[in-house]
Amino acid sequence: MFTLEQVDEIHERLGKASTLGAFLEALREIGVVASDSYVTDGHTTYFGADGHEVSTSPAHEVFEVAASSDKDAFLAELKRVEEESAGYVEMSRAFAAAGVEKWTFDTQALTITYYDRAGSALLAEPV
C-alpha cells in the first residue's frame, strides 16, 4: 500500500508538464492505478488496488467551477500549462472558469482525461 508521503516525494521530483510520463510511471510503480485532481480546491485522491486510497489536503483557495464548459478556453489554458508558462493556481482558476471540474490520470494506460461538471470528458490524451 502506498502512502501520501511516497506520492508527495514523487510529485516533488516529477510533478511538472515536462516529466508527466515519468510521474505516472513512478506512481504506477508504488501501486497507484489512477488519481482524480479537483480544480475547485486542488486536492487529489490517489487510488490503488483493493479500494486503497489517499487524498491530499486542498492546495489553494476554492474556485467555483463554471456550470457549462468552454472547451476553447480550456484548450488555450492547457497550451499555456504545457509550455510551463502558467502556475498551478493560475491554471486551476482558468480551468474552473472554463468549466473543468477535474482531471484523471490513469497510470496503467498512461492517459489524462479532463472532465466537466456533468462528467463529460472534454479531452482524453496519452501522456
pLDDT in tens, 84-108: 777 889 999 999 999 999 999 999 9
This prediction has a pTM of 0.92
Amino acid at site 68? S
Domains of the chain by residue range: 4-126
What's the confidence (pLDDT) of residue 81?
81
Q: Indicate the class that CATH gives domain 4-126.
A: alpha beta
Amino acid at site 112? I
Amino acid at site 31? G
Look up residue 31 and give its DSSP letter. T
- Which alpha helices (H) appear in 3-127, and where do they start and end? 4-14, 20-30, 71-82, 88-97
